[in-house]
Structure 1
Amino acid sequence: MPKRLLLCVLLAACAPLHAAPAPSLQALDALANDPYWIALGHYETGKLGGWRSYVDDSGFFLAEHGDSDPSAELSATLHALYQPAEAGDSHPQCVFPARTRWLREQLQLDDLPQPSCTEYQRWFDDIQPHRAVLIFPAAYLNSPSSMFGHTLLRIDQADVDANGTALLSYALNFGAYIEGMDNSMLYAWKGLMGGYPGLFSLVSYRAKLAEYSRLENRDLWEYQLNLTPAETARMIEHVWELKQVRFDYFFFDENCSFRLLELLEIARPGVALTAQFPLTAIPTDTVRAVKQAGMVERIDYRPSREKELLARASQLDETEQDWVLALADDSNLLQDNAFRGLALERRALIQDAAYRLVRYHATGAERDSVQAQRSFELLQAINRNPPGELSVARPELPENGHQSRTWQLGAGSRGDRSFAEYGLRMAYHDLNDNLAGFPLGAQIEILQFKLRQYEGNHWQLERLDLATIRSLTPRNRLLQPLSWQVAGGLERVPGTHEQRELVSHINGGAGGTWQLGDDTLAYAMATARLEHNSDFAAFIAPAAGFNSGLIWNNALGNLSVEAKGDYFLQGEVRRSLALNQQWEVTDNLGLRLSATRQFSQLQTPENELLLTLRWYHY
């Protein structure tokens, strides 16, 4: 962008300009504070007053202090639009088509020069924007950047429905630009602290679809928006202004979802979306906001490759699933007499499941000629004996789940002491929360604190969790996923002299989860823990342990029973038994009963009983 504007600056210095209009200062001031001009500059109210732009790229502004002065930027833009047309593609009208159109309409600028914006026009004609679809790839716990889900826009041409060419549409995405190979911990830290620049990009929707539903095995939800062709075009012309323009990228607020809401405000002036997210912009919350603004007219569901495989496998008994595993390992068994002795329609289902299993295991891996040949032979068998149409049950809409921030008010007792507990969790969901819109066995909690007020007005910080993440995906005959957990922060643990010490810790574990019924999971994990505890001689005390339990989604809500233990190298043994039952009063209101018994070599066992009202409210 700066290179394209360089010619503009030179022309401004060396060539006479057309006569720019001289609107009154009052008119200019009104335009500079118009919500649409504020949106075009991505301005927000500064912490100490005034304005600041989310854009962190000086090439986006024509005025010296345009990033903090909408009025100066408007005056500079108005002046620049009258530069000689000979500048061609570098003319400010070509670089800023959305600003140009809006100022022309507001000030009736009928005498503007007419530069030839060949590059922009070719780009716009290639996209042919007619309709926009908001795409939500569902949460994927095994990727730090995707654990909350993601949003992007698909830009459709006018004939996309008639010709069935949605895969040929463009995907408009905003994401962190990462150079090199940062590990997951560094990626998460830099994402939290704004260490990556964020950029808009337009890529093939087919490529994005493959990335999300195939490479990461994520469900996709497609929300067709009711934007008119004119509104969609207005949004895309502003996207041109943002090409290669950098924003700071933050996982929780200035992220993919927040940036797309800004674009929708450009498309439909007057709709208020970003103002609803002053602190965090969780993708499901932003989808809900778009829907509540009346901008969604249809919702389509694309299941992941894993969902399709499991749906096909659910039609098979154990013996038939054994055949699936065998054929996925050796396609020569297609000619085995025992296999050919099965009924034709059962063979069709088995072959199809085996093919899907082979393709599932090939996801993200380098091409293997043996595997490719096996896949081809299974596909040939499917073509000779096609199965019935696959039907995948559509899950609850993700935006129908509870809201992300949780306020907690509880009353309980520990031993012979009563207390009140006050809590706040910034995001997002735990194993006992209201289940609608979430998978059973998934937990993502970020920035949670709990403060207790004991009898005698004695206040105490009970815990401060930076992050607690669990992925309890059940194993089955065909797929054997690893369950895992990681957590870190501050918490109270049994200490000497019958006191409870506040310790810092980080812990994690891995193991397996098994489905005991449609609504029940059992899990068992080996764990490891590092703890800083003033009761221990060592600055950092390591421990090995276990974590096992049961989750049951029942008529009231979610019940969990959990046993865990930590065996420290210095001799301390800490174990606990816990039971939690949540009553889902409404989608955004829950009542939770928690009972815990804790054992430690440092003090006598203690019982705790707690009743908590949980309000899910952004």
Structure 2
Amino acid sequence: MLKRLLPLLLGCACAMLQAAPPLSDTRLHELASDPFWLALGHYQRDRLGGWHSHVDDDAFFFAERGERDPAAELAATLAALYREPGLADRHPQCRFPARTRWLRERLTLNDLPQPQCREYDDWYAEIAPHSTVLVFPAAYLNSPSSMFGHTLLRIDPAGIDTQGSALLSYALNFGAYIEGSDNSILYAWKGLMGGYPGLFALLPYREKLTEYSRLENRDLWEYRLNLTTEETGRMVEHVWELRQIQFDYYFFDENCSYRLLELLDIARPGLELTKGFSLTAIPADTVRAVEQAGLIESVDYRPSREKELLERAAPLSQAERDWTRRLAEDSAPLASPAFQALPTGRQAQVLDAAYRLIRYRKSGEERDEASARDSHRLLQAINRNPPPRLAVARPVPPEKGHPSRTWQLAFGNREQRSFAEYGLRMAYHDLQDNLDGFPLGAQIEIAQLKLRQYEGNHWQLQQLDLANIRSLTPRSALLSPWSWQVGSGLERVIGKGRHDNEQLVGHLSGGIGSTWQLDESLVGFALATTRLEQNEDFAAFISPAAGFDAGLLWRNPLGNLGLEAGADYFHNGEVRRTLSLAQHWEIADNLGLRLSARRELSQQASPASEVSLQLRWYHY
């Protein structure tokens, strides 16, 4: 009998020996309120004082209400760590190494079971985390999710700068998980409303480098962080815990940049980088927050394929650019006497530009036999006659640009009536704003409100933009991109309104055309436009119009000047024309002064003129 009971008694004794140590309520709540534990659970304070986790996945929690109770989750985690070690890779210690390490250190848990976590150990050894680089692919207007840019982390092994290549590193990315192929409009809407789950992904850096720098032709900024090896490893530990774990994903706040700030809070507890991003988390602003926290050690710049092509073609004459286009389309003229007559040095630059042009045109496409043949011939010619080294000038880094939120205060006069105007734009840049860190001709305005107060204390809503986006990329001898614009919201237009011939209308508008580089600091553009308008002056509920929008943008010593003329020709016979001029003074990185003048004409109302002086304060 005793022999039969002995194994049972020994098992019970082992189970008792491997039970989680009891914690007093005081100690439990002390640990559960530790900033590092709260960061591990991605907990945030509710407005009413409770807690909630950004993680939207039951698989992440042991406690029934773990997403809202950090103390209950800590107690449940502690108990789970003492489960049977034979669970191996399915053991909670293997599933949550960052939680395990922290609780072991804080509670001196020397009696924890020792499960074999082969899957995690192999994964961690493959990544071999040693240092961290924050990567910022610049804004890309043709993708709704990337209009503001993007951020990801690069995890480097030891000796990457002296012995290896960054192409051997891993990229840590957070993004929306999309099943199927939603169109751009549906994608933007669901992204705004949280219609997609967000997931972390760890993949070879070379894949992300190809996607951003090559396929989408985006500049890359790489910020080496001063995280220690221990801090980098601690962050990677937590990334293992987030495999296939779903978060809510929103374009403007709980996005790629916000989630990476949370990871940096894991790497170096106490940074609290997410505190300033309760409403929006624009990538450039989050990079600025990382810089202000003193995390950036050095900065590297990788120009896009498009920028390298344009830089190589810049010193070429018109005839040499013609040769570049011909050779990119067909390499046969390489041996022609006309091409051989070019000086050897000029041939080298044309060859390099032609090869880059082929690669640019074939980005994201399957290489056909003809382009592969032409590329090979051009490479052979380049090897025989190498061009001079290409040096692309480094632009102003994006974190040195103005912050994304803008407060506006203006004083002006409209048809002998003085007014004050108060405005707020949530994001993020227009054509006349302080230009450092932004490309000339790019505009993204989201959620802009303007309230106007006329003399006599008459208040009115002047403007409410949902979105106002413009991409005015100049055409060149080698590239011919389309320029486009789209906008929607409420605005005041000249009409039969009760106050000073103004009518508040709703609109959805767009346009497409071309932009030309007229001088080093001067561009001109012309677009054909369409517009749908809801206007109480019109008999129809919705009235369509066709028209044009044309203008000049001049980068001058004071700042940016814009001259613009446009017209809308409505189906009901109404013709509305506008002429505007705006000069922006760049007073400081976060301060601007803008003088604007505008003339409006309509067949249904008397002409109206307006002039204003506006102070703009950029902040986050």
Match of 1:84 in 2: 84
Out of 572, 577, 580, the residue aligned to residue 574 of structure 2 is 572
* 1:18–1:84 CA contact under 8 A, matched in 2: no
**Equivalences for 1:203-218 in 2 at 5 Å?**
203-218=203-218
Match of 2:22 in 1: 22
Match of 2:379 in 1: 379
Match of 1:490 in 2: 490
Gaps of 5+ in 2: 1-14
Cα separation, 2, equivalents of 1:308 and 1:221: 15
Cα separation, 2, equivalents of 1:180 and 1:57: 22
Cα separation, 2, equivalents of 1:439 and 1:83: 57
Please report how far the alpha carbon of residue 236 of structure 1 lies from its aligned counterpart in structure 2 after TM superposition.
0.2
SS at match of 2:158: coil
Cα separation, 2, equivalents of 1:17 and 1:423: 66
Cα separation, 1, equivalents of 2:347 and 2:323: 9
Match of 2:538 in 1: 536
Match of 2:53 in 1: 53
SS at match of 1:167: helix
Match of 1:344 in 2: 344
Please report how far the alpha carbon of residue 159 of structure 1 lies from its aligned counterpart in structure 2 after TM superposition.
2.1
Cα separation, 1, equivalents of 2:462 and 2:101: 57
Identity over the aligned pairs, expressed in percent?
67
Q: Which moved more, 1:219-228 or 1:153-162?
A: 153-162
2:146 aligned with 1:155, yes or no?
Answer: no
Cα separation, 1, equivalents of 2:557 and 2:496: 42
Cα separation, 1, equivalents of 2:539 and 2:577: 21
* 2:323–2:350 CA contact under 8 A, matched in 1: yes
Match of 2:617 in 1: 615
2:562 aligned with 1:555, yes or no?
Answer: no
Match of 1:135 in 2: 135
SS at match of 1:603: coil
Please report how far the alpha carbon of residue 178 of structure 1 lies from its aligned counterpart in structure 2 after TM superposition.
0.6
**Equivalences for 1:364-403 in 2 at 5 Å?**
364-403=364-403
* 2:443–2:469 CA contact under 8 A, matched in 1: yes
**Equivalences for 1:194-593 in 2 at 5 Å?**
194-496=194-496, 499-593=501-595
Cα separation, 1, equivalents of 2:408 and 2:447: 14
Match of 1:190 in 2: 190
Cα separation, 2, equivalents of 1:177 and 1:600: 48
Cα separation, 2, equivalents of 1:536 and 1:78: 69
SS at match of 1:186: helix
State the one-letter code of the partner of 2:96: F
Write out per-residue CA displacement over residues 48-76 of structure 1, whole angstroms, 9 at most, x where no aligned residue.
22000000001100000000000000000
Q: Which moved more, 1:249-258 or 1:369-378?
A: 369-378
Cα separation, 2, equivalents of 1:253 and 1:98: 26
Please report how far the alpha carbon of residue 224 of structure 1 lies from its aligned counterpart in structure 2 after TM superposition.
0.4
Cα separation, 2, equivalents of 1:506 and 1:23: 61
Cα separation, 2, equivalents of 1:17 and 1:74: 20
* 1:17–1:84 CA contact under 8 A, matched in 2: no
* 1:431–1:443 CA contact under 8 A, matched in 2: yes
Cα separation, 1, equivalents of 2:20 and 2:553: 70
Aligned pair in 2 of structure 1 residues 600, 111: CA closer, same or farther (>3 Å)? Answer: same
Please report how far the alpha carbon of residue 84 of structure 1 lies from its aligned counterpart in structure 2 after TM superposition.
1.4
Cα separation, 1, equivalents of 2:19 and 2:192: 48
Write out per-residue CA displacement over residues 450-505 of structure 1, whole angstroms, 9 at most, x where no aligned residue.
00011111110001000000000001101111010000000011222663111110
* 2:597–2:609 CA contact under 8 A, matched in 1: yes
State the one-letter code of the partner of 2:92: P
SS at match of 2:403: coil
* 2:494–2:608 CA contact under 8 A, matched in 1: no
TM-score by length of 2: 0.97
Write out per-residue CA displacement over residues 145-179 of structure 1, whole angstroms, 9 at most, x where no aligned residue.
11100000000000211223210110000000011
Write out per-residue CA displacement over residues 224-275 of structure 1, whole angstroms, 9 at most, x where no aligned residue.
0011000000000000000000001000000000000000000001112000
Cα separation, 2, equivalents of 1:189 and 1:33: 37
* 1:17–1:83 CA contact under 8 A, matched in 2: no
State the one-letter code of the partner of 2:211: E
Cα separation, 2, equivalents of 1:136 and 1:17: 50
Write out per-residue CA displacement over residues 109-155 of structure 1, whole angstroms, 9 at most, x where no aligned residue.
11111111111101001100000000000001111111100000000
* 2:528–2:547 CA contact under 8 A, matched in 1: yes
Please report how far the alpha carbon of residue 47 of structure 1 lies from its aligned counterpart in structure 2 after TM superposition.
2.8
Cα separation, 1, equivalents of 2:600 and 2:232: 59
* 1:17–1:82 CA contact under 8 A, matched in 2: no
State the one-letter code of the partner of 1:591: L
Please report how far the alpha carbon of residue 16 of structure 1 lies from its aligned counterpart in structure 2 after TM superposition.
7.4
Aligned pair count? 607
SS at match of 1:298: strand
Match of 1:5 in 2: none
* 2:544–2:571 CA contact under 8 A, matched in 1: yes
SS at match of 2:464: strand
Write out per-residue CA displacement over residues 572-613 of structure 1, whole angstroms, 9 at most, x where no aligned residue.
100000000011110100011110000011110000011111
Please report how far the alpha carbon of residue 304 of structure 1 lies from its aligned counterpart in structure 2 after TM superposition.
0.3
